[in-house]
Amino acid sequence: MSAVPSVQSSAAALDRALVDASPVEIVAAAVREVGRERLAVVSSFGAESAALLAIAAEVDPAIPVVFLDTGWLFAETLAYRDALTSRLGLTDVRTIHPRAEALAREDENRELWFSDPDRCCHIRKVEPLARALAPFDGWINGRKRFQGGDRAAMAVVEADGARLKFNPLANVSQDELKALVAVMNLPPHPLVASGFASIGCMPCTSRTRPGEDARAGRWRGRSKTECGIHVAAPSRD
């Protein structure tokens, strides 16, 4: 029997059990279900990353944390990664990079973000994450329903191929997230103060204008709204 139907069944059962659970309860349930050594938190160390990382550290600071350094990140994001890792006492943060041969073959002039942003995301984020998650049976991410778009109707627990995918902040509102950050006295990403509400790679991130949703500054002017990590797409490798 394929493992995928079993994962789908487990995800559905866990989602029903955790539909009203708090973020801490969801992370703790993920550790119990999957086991710390087989579970990873995937974090961009972006504008809204601190809360999830603090919750994971509260449950178990040794949960592996996967961070994708695409080669196009703001220097402030790299510094924020180091500051939060130290502040929260995270003991297993793994920085993952794109394959050098893929960059040399497809993006030698570093212009792929402009000509084919989907492909740029694939070689700089999607493929590296797939490689990084290979040893794990489950992963945790920081998406929220209030971010809108494809995220508005997501479950608390999903099947992601043969893995379980946990969304501990799915039910949290923007005001609740701000309150959580304040209570935990977490430092903001350095770029938030200058108008960046959602922070990814430099070429594809812009400031958010008043009244826009948090992710409006990502891939501005394009129909693209996701890097590909959270959507099913065929690999071209």
115: pLDDT strictly greater than 90: yes
The conformational region for residue 157 under phi > 0 = left, psi -120 to 50 = alpha, else beta, is: beta
The tokens describing 36, both together, are 């710390």
Residue 227 annotated among the catalytic residues of the structure: yes
Are 57 and 65 spatial neighbours (Cβ–Cβ below 8 Å)?
no
Catalytic residue among 121, 201, 204, 227: 227
Confidence (pTM): 0.90
Question: What CATH number has the domain spanning 3-195?
Answer: 3.40.50.620
| 80, amino acid identity | Y
Please tell me the distance from the alpha carbon of residue 205 to that of residue 198, in angstroms, as a whole number: 8
pLDDT score at 231:
63
Q: What are the residue boundaries of the structural domains of the chain, listed by start?
A: 3-195
Tens of pLDDT, residue by residue over 212-226, are 888 899 999 998 988
Q: How many residues make up the chain in this entry?
A: 237
Q: How far is CA 19 from the centre of its chain?
A: 20
Tens of pLDDT, residue by residue over 5-63, are 799 999 999 999 999 999 999 999 999 999 999 999 999 999 989 999 999 999 999 99
pLDDT score at 3:
62
